[in-house]
Structure 1
Amino acid sequence: MRQDRLAALAPLAAVLMFLAAIVASFWYLRNEEIEREKEALKRDVEYAQQRVRLRLLERQEQVMRLARDVSNQEVDRSEFGTRAEALISQYPELQALSWIDERRRIRATHAAPTVTSSQLRVAGEVLRGGETAELYGLVRDLLQPVYSQPVTTNAGDAVPLLQLQVPLASEGRFAGVVLAEYSIDSVLRYGTPTEVLARYAVTLLDADNHVLAGSPLPPRSGSVWPWSAKANAYQVPVSPVGNGLVLRGQAYRTSLGMVGSGLFWLVGTLSVMTAWMLIATWRHTRRRLQAQQALIAETNFRRAMENSILTGMRALDLQGRITYVNAAFCQMTGWSEAELVGQMPPYSYWPEEEHEALHAKLREELSGKVTPAGFQVRVRRKNGHLFDARLYVSPLVDARGQQTGWMTSMTDITEPNRVREQLTASHERFTIVLEALDASVSVAPLGSEELLFANRLYRQWFGSQTAGHLQLVAQAGVLPAHRGQSSVDDEDGLMGLPTDPLTSANSENAEIFLPELGKWLEVRSRYLNWVDGRLAQMVIATDITPRRLAEEQAARQAERAQSVSRLITMGEMASSVAHELNQPLTAISNYCSGMISRIQRGQIDEEGLIGALEKTAHQAQRAGQIIQRIRAFVKKSEPNRQLARVEDMVTEAVELGGIELRRHNVRLSHYMAARLPPVMADSILIEQVLVNLMKNGAESIVQANRPPAQRNVELRVVPRQVEGQDVIEFSVQDTGGGLPPEMLAHLFEAFYSTKSEGMGIGLNLCRSIVESHHGRMEAENLYNGSEVTGCRFSFWLPLA
């Protein structure tokens, strides 16, 4: 492997080094050529700068000579114009000459025809500002010739001009300037040698590298070489102007360099081809090495896996000779590999009593008649113990596709057989328990009418069909087992349960009645994953008919107890009722006796007789109403809840209870809030509760021996809010002796009474009546400091 790697990498490294040497050589030669071009460009640009400098100095000398003559007053304005015209016509770069006095007035001027109208100066004008005026002030201060810094102009037809102002002196004082203006383009054209212009692109630039004259080379683009992206250039400032005027030369492209070198590309192409072939060889060698490594790793992996698995492997040739066994096979049988390899049947691990059957199995195995599911045999270990094993057989095929034998895998199934027997026994016990249950149990999948399981009681009630299961589910209101075609959108992706029905299904047990069975059933339901992975619903139905009958009988007994309680109440109130009836009856008797006596004496007229008869009829009606109310109160047996006005119930209860309170000399006061909403209640039962509470309050006051001023019972009816619910609260408050604290906890229990002659069913019935109306009742003592001043019973009823 190391030799193959070196054989592949060494030629590749040599070719890459050769290619690198060729590239470095061409790079060095190219750099040398560039350096020579740069030196030649520098030399020629500096030579051109000297030529331009000398030409500017010559023009400066001529302008200074003219300025000296003007200062000496040897030249007047006409002579100045003549000499300026001669200079401008003789030297093309000179565009204009102007004579400006000390008051900045242009006394004389002459310009070349190429000067644009915007750049012309007119005699008699005064310099008002701008660059010329600033330069004028600088010359006046320095008394030396000064060049302006040329700048580009925005006007399309105007060319940039270079200004030179030479001071005039008269008797030692400043007398003005001579302004000379040069065409920068003419300075470049006539000042630069023609041989330099032929070899290079020469331009004049200002201080900001803006082109003043000449045509620069366009930037090179599309080159594959990074060093060819920029042209060879050199620039130098032009004196005496200074840095404001820069002469730049750019070399033209005279050769293609390495891009046009055929030798370079030939060597490069050959090197790339060689490198490509060597890389292909190296990749092939690398894949071969990887294949070898993978083969070794796979062999080691299979050997490790083969030694670690619990399945025994055995290879036979076509004659039945053992040619290979793995470690698991040896561990199962107890014989070593050396003892097993080479054996012919009968093998040493065959039980002696099963040789004939195992020979037949071996013949089927060698003939290829073994089923893919394998077959079970008994195997004997070396120590003589037997175990159950399952054998799977597959043919062994060599690389040429010819079968060389059979490979057999052997698995110890002794433990699975034991577990299977235990599971079978457990299933039988589980089935016996379910069959013996006194509840119906059925399981059906969602979205199907298949019945997965049903115990004996279900089959006895509904048969072997799913109809009974579906009937229980539908009538009980639990989650539906049959929903038609199931949809993925109808099921939760995480739980696998249906989404929509879960929110509307009953979470408690449901009690239903089946007429065809004549039974009351309590139905419970839950979801489970069936053995095949399907979501199923199990329904358990328990016969609760005896319990419902007992509850109905208890309800009937409670109704009879309520009637008995009312009879007892009315029995206790009998004397008060008699006293209450005695008043209208006495009044009727008195009215009748009075009318008879007056009629006999003839002392009554028709109007008086009618008035007396009306009063008599009113007292008779009052007595009849008392009798009817007492009769309705006593005869009421079955509850009848309907919309009832609170005012009517309180009025009836006050009239009935007032009879008993007046007998005990107890004053009754009541307060009722205005515009109370109606409640859904049985009026007679609520009146019974109020009468019982008022009667108990009066008896408590009698037992406490309160003085007449403190014998009060107050009934209050007001709206309230309890636990966020709007209710009507009824409270009966007395001024009796209260209740002992130990009795408050047992006050509403059945047959528990605080009175020696009491039966203990009054308050228990009251609480039952209130709770049947979805209300609550409570009792509490009233205190003045530490002294008990009375007791308060209250209960509330929800609004309709």
Structure 2
Amino acid sequence: MQNRPPPSQPGTAKPVAAAPITSWRNWWRRQSPTHQDRLALLAPMASVLLFLAAIVVAFWYLQVEEIDREQEAVKRDVEYAQQRVRLRLLERQEQLMRLARDVSNKEVDPEEFMARSESLEAQYPEMLAITWINARRRIIASRAAPSVPTAQQRTAGDILKIGETENSYSLTRELQQPVYAQPPARADRVALLQLHVPLADGGKFAGVVLGEYSLDGLLRYGVPTEVSAKYSVALLDDKGKLLAGNTVPARNPAASLLPWTTPPNEYEVPVSPVGNGLIIRAQAYRTSMGVIGSGLFWLVSALSMLTAWMLIATWRHTRRRVQVQQALVSETNFRRAMENSMLTGMRALDLQGRITYVNAAFCQMTGWSERELVGRTAPFPYWPEADLESLSARLEDELHGRTIPGGFQVRVKRKSNSLFDARMYTSPLIDARGQQTGWMTSMTDITEPNRIREQLSASYERFTTVLEALDASVSVAPLGSKELLFANKLYRLWFGSHTVGHLQLVAQAGVVSSSHPGSDDAQDDVDGFMGLPTDTLTQAHAGHSEVFVPELGKWLEVRSRYLTWVDGRLAQMVIATDITPRRHAEELSASQAERAQSASRLITMGEMASSVAHELNQPLTAINNYCNGMVSRIKGKQISEEDLLAALDKTARQAQRAGHIIQRIRSFVKRSEPNRTLSDIPAMVNEAVELAGIELRRRNVRLNPYVAARLPQVMVDPILIEQVLVNLLKNAAESIEASERPPTQRTVELQVVPRQLDEQPVVEFSVLDSGKGLAPEAMERLYEAFFSTKAEGMGIGLNLCRSIVESHQGRMHAENLYNGGEVTGCRFSFWLPLASPVNDTTNSVATTKNAGVTA
């Protein structure tokens, strides 16, 4: 059996309507107070808006009903007027058809036609003219009303004008039925309606009876008076053009766009039997103000808007108060959370020195709870026993306002009897009324910072000890200031405790530095590096140079770089190392290299001794011959003064020639300090060719020099470059002699042309010979010291030549020349860079000396 619920007893069942109320009450109680306040404020607003919406809908509904009623009335009246006009047209059509039938039966002649037409025009005012036209478009008779102008009247005997009623006439002849037509509207005549009634003679078309109506008269006499009094009635053509009557003027275009505006009530229907070519339209005159013109509507709207505005203002005011209350609660909670989460301990004392407040951090530091601390007076439980007297005196100073702005350091005892260092700051506690109610103290645990400070002090001491023990001078100074930030022991020993030595080293080293106040170069107090990215300066590589300090009598290697000091300022660190012993060693090596170069030139001249002797023998022999000849002829008194002068002139030229040879050789082998100057390339080449030409002529070798035009100058030592060229030309002549080439192939080519080497402009010197070339094993060891391919060679020539070229920042290269697989000679080339500005003469001399040491 199924369990059925017990039947409800009378008086115990709850009403059905009570369930929704109970559910709504329970839902309302579950909402938060803020939500309840919000709903309580929105309910009146919703009620007012619903009331306003109901009023608007009611007015809109009444307006729509009124418009529908007016539309129905317009439609009914327009159809009634259309029926009246239709009946009037049908009556006139029937009368014209009766007249046309009598004309077709030849019962009416033109005079009778005119009489009957006059009767119809007098009886019906809308009739303007009746015309009888035969099949050949000739007007038989025509009667026009007096209101028709003479220019528009038709005369009997005239031919119907083509185009005036041509289409309607032709259509009537084809259909053999009455046809309505509207001639084109013209400004010089009224709008017309034409009726073409066909004439028949024995079943054949015999012409038409043309009746013309005035559309304005048809509208005036055909439309009932009660209709024209209520509406604006007009006749339109099929394109909507106004033919007769008038229309309601258009409203303001801006007002017609408003949503509550309605177009004027109008209705239009075609007029039969004319058809769609003639339309009657009626527009109702505006008789009511509508919804917007109703004063009740505006009164209700104004009251509703005022009530809504007051509710909105009340709701906004209440919301602001709720927001302020929430902000206050949030601020209080935030401050409480901040006090409980901060690591700084906070303690408040009243004016009598009693603890009134401690935060969680203070309790956590000391180990004592808030309940154990609040209300206590001195001595406090976190005071160490050994410091009670000093702490009591300090508390007395605090209560009397004798506080230290920077705070003070004390020892604090935890509840576990352990101690820690703390720094305490005290300030007056001011309430909201501006009155002091006690003292506020903040406490910070500085045990770890003290430990780190001690470690930093020890580290600083170690760092200072290392820098003091360095055998180099270290100094740091900020840009734009005379302050010396750091200087080690050696700097103070050399320059004292001022920035004079620092600035002197910077100036002599040529390091870019900002102008210091008091210096001669300082024009103003503006930092020269202002606006520049300091990260790029501090990350740049350290620059270094070698300078001589006369005050110390020492050569120093100066290194400098920019760094960011501990206070954020851009500073410059200079490290100076004493390199005087090294410079002495370099100078000794350079002098030895110079002696080696001079020895090499002497060796070259020694190897060329026989050639030089032969070269000098020619002018000396010529001088001897000239002198002996002149002596003999003078003794025999066989010489005239002119012959004597000519012989003496030739003797002088030969002596000058010998002197030039000796002077050139002397300047070549003379020992001198390296001296780099802007040198002319053609002059150096000419000197080298003159010296080497002696050896080439002795070995029967022809020299073909080529020097490009307009070559730029180079910064070189011309004697050293001439030594390289002479050595290469001499080696080329020896290679050709050793290869035993025939006289036609014993040539050496010297070429000097500009080149681009690694995108750098250089001058290339090339010596090409037609000798036997270099063996592969000799090519690998070509520049080794004391290696030579000649039995009597010393092996220092090419090594010295390459050292000289490289000391001028050049490069040297050797290669064999081939004709197919056969070696046809060798080419030695070296490149010299073009002249560039030299910053410091001392540096350039030192560089040359270093290059000499390498050689």
Matched residue, 1:41: 74
Matched residue, 2:319: 286
Q: Contact 2:131–2:143 at 8 Å: present in 1 too?
A: yes
Shift, 1:570, TM fit: 0.9
Matched residue, 2:64: 31
| SS class of match (2:382) | coil
CA 306–610 in structure 1, closer or farther in 2 if over 3 Å, else same: closer
Superposed, 1:681-760 pairs within 5 Å as: 683-701=718-736, 706=740, 708=742, 712-723=746-757, 724=759, 727-741=762-776, 743-744=778-779, 747-748=782-783, 753-755=788-790, 757-760=792-795
Matched residue, 2:603: 568
In 1, the alpha carbon distance for the partners of 2:830 and 2:157 equals 121
Superposed, 1:173-252 pairs within 5 Å as: 173-221=204-252, 222=255, 226-252=259-285
Of 200, 204, 211, the match for 1:169: 200
The gaps in structure 2 that reach 5 residues or longer are: 1-32, 517-521, 836-855
Of 167, 171, 177, the match for 1:134: 167
CA 624–472 in structure 1, closer or farther in 2 if over 3 Å, else same: closer
CA 650–16 in structure 1, closer or farther in 2 if over 3 Å, else same: closer
CA 544–632 in structure 1, closer or farther in 2 if over 3 Å, else same: same
| SS class of match (2:165) | helix
Matched residue, 1:17: 50
In 1, the alpha carbon distance for the partners of 2:729 and 2:246 equals 123
Q: Contact 1:666–1:713 at 8 Å: present in 2 too?
A: no
Q: Contact 1:778–1:794 at 8 Å: present in 2 too?
A: yes
Shift, 1:743, TM fit: 5.0
Question: For the aligned residues, what is the CA RMSD?
Answer: 4.1
Q: Contact 1:528–1:536 at 8 Å: present in 2 too?
A: yes
Q: Contact 1:520–1:545 at 8 Å: present in 2 too?
A: yes
CA 30–708 in structure 1, closer or farther in 2 if over 3 Å, else same: closer
The gaps in structure 1 that reach 5 residues or longer are: none
Matched residue, 2:7: none
Shift, 1:529, TM fit: 4.2
Q: Contact 1:145–1:165 at 8 Å: present in 2 too?
A: yes
Of 487, 505, 520, the match for 1:455: 487
| SS class of match (1:577) | helix
Moved more, 461-470 or 410-419: 461-470
Shift, 1:18, TM fit: 2.4
Shift, 1:91, TM fit: 3.3
Shift, 1:364, TM fit: 3.6
Moved more, 510-519 or 338-347: 510-519
In 2, the alpha carbon distance for the partners of 1:318 and 1:37 equals 92
Amino acid at match of 1:196: V
Q: Contact 1:150–1:206 at 8 Å: present in 2 too?
A: no
In 2, the alpha carbon distance for the partners of 1:375 and 1:219 equals 93
Amino acid at match of 1:782: L
Moved more, 535-544 or 756-765: 535-544
Matched residue, 2:694: 659
Matched residue, 2:812: 777
Q: Contact 1:26–1:258 at 8 Å: present in 2 too?
A: yes
Q: Contact 2:232–2:246 at 8 Å: present in 1 too?
A: yes
Matched, 1:444 2:478: yes
In 2, the alpha carbon distance for the partners of 1:488 and 1:180 equals 111
CA 399–443 in structure 1, closer or farther in 2 if over 3 Å, else same: closer
Matched residue, 1:668: 702
Amino acid at match of 1:564: A
In 2, the alpha carbon distance for the partners of 1:493 and 1:308 equals 43
Amino acid at match of 2:194: Q
Superposed, 1:278-357 pairs within 5 Å as: 278-357=311-390
Q: Contact 2:137–2:160 at 8 Å: present in 1 too?
A: yes
Superposed, 1:251-650 pairs within 5 Å as: 251-396=284-429, 404-431=437-464, 438-439=472-473, 441-445=475-479, 448-451=480-483, 453-455=485-487, 476=510, 478-481=512-515, 491-492=530-531, 509=544, 526-538=561-573, 554-589=589-624, 619-635=654-670, 637-638=672-673, 646-650=681-685
Shift, 1:631, TM fit: 2.3
In 2, the alpha carbon distance for the partners of 1:86 and 1:450 equals 133
Q: Contact 1:150–1:244 at 8 Å: present in 2 too?
A: no
Amino acid at match of 1:451: E
- 1:38-83 C-alpha deviation (Å, 9 max, x unpaired): 2222211221222222222233233333333333344445554554
Shift, 1:433, TM fit: 5.2
Q: Contact 2:595–2:671 at 8 Å: present in 1 too?
A: no
Shift, 1:207, TM fit: 2.5
In 2, the alpha carbon distance for the partners of 1:117 and 1:625 equals 139
Shift, 1:28, TM fit: 2.0
Moved more, 787-796 or 139-148: 787-796
Shift, 1:732, TM fit: 1.7
Amino acid at match of 1:659: I
Amino acid at match of 1:722: Q
CA 335–574 in structure 1, closer or farther in 2 if over 3 Å, else same: same
CA 113–296 in structure 1, closer or farther in 2 if over 3 Å, else same: farther
- 1:435-490 C-alpha deviation (Å, 9 max, x unpaired): 66633534234xx4453625256666666666666666666261533565577998
Moved more, 586-595 or 144-153: 586-595
Q: Contact 1:735–1:789 at 8 Å: present in 2 too?
A: yes
CA 380–205 in structure 1, closer or farther in 2 if over 3 Å, else same: farther
CA 247–643 in structure 1, closer or farther in 2 if over 3 Å, else same: same
Identity of aligned residues (%): 67
Amino acid at match of 1:211: L
In 2, the alpha carbon distance for the partners of 1:108 and 1:517 equals 148
- 1:582-620 C-alpha deviation (Å, 9 max, x unpaired): 344445545666777788899999998887777666554
Amino acid at match of 1:181: E
Amino acid at match of 1:569: T
- 1:86-134 C-alpha deviation (Å, 9 max, x unpaired): 5445434333444443334445445456557886656666566547322
Q: Contact 1:77–1:107 at 8 Å: present in 2 too?
A: yes
Moved more, 465-474 or 725-734: 465-474
Matched, 1:57 2:90: yes
Q: Contact 1:644–1:683 at 8 Å: present in 2 too?
A: yes
Matched, 1:66 2:99: yes
- 1:276-330 C-alpha deviation (Å, 9 max, x unpaired): 2222222233233333333343344333333332222334444444444333223
In 2, the alpha carbon distance for the partners of 1:762 and 1:249 equals 128
| SS class of match (2:280) | strand
Q: Contact 1:676–1:719 at 8 Å: present in 2 too?
A: no
Matched residue, 2:13: none
Moved more, 179-188 or 591-600: 591-600
Shift, 1:793, TM fit: 0.8
CA 460–137 in structure 1, closer or farther in 2 if over 3 Å, else same: farther
In 1, the alpha carbon distance for the partners of 2:84 and 2:809 equals 121
Q: Contact 2:700–2:743 at 8 Å: present in 1 too?
A: no
Q: Contact 2:733–2:748 at 8 Å: present in 1 too?
A: no
Q: TM-score, normalised by structure 2?
A: 0.80
Q: TM-score, normalised by structure 1?
A: 0.85
Shift, 1:654, TM fit: 3.3
Q: Contact 1:753–1:760 at 8 Å: present in 2 too?
A: yes
In 2, the alpha carbon distance for the partners of 1:360 and 1:131 equals 132
CA 320–643 in structure 1, closer or farther in 2 if over 3 Å, else same: closer
In 2, the alpha carbon distance for the partners of 1:540 and 1:129 equals 121
| SS class of match (1:226) | coil
Matched residue, 2:177: 144
Shift, 1:210, TM fit: 3.0
Q: Contact 2:234–2:243 at 8 Å: present in 1 too?
A: yes
| SS class of match (1:60) | helix
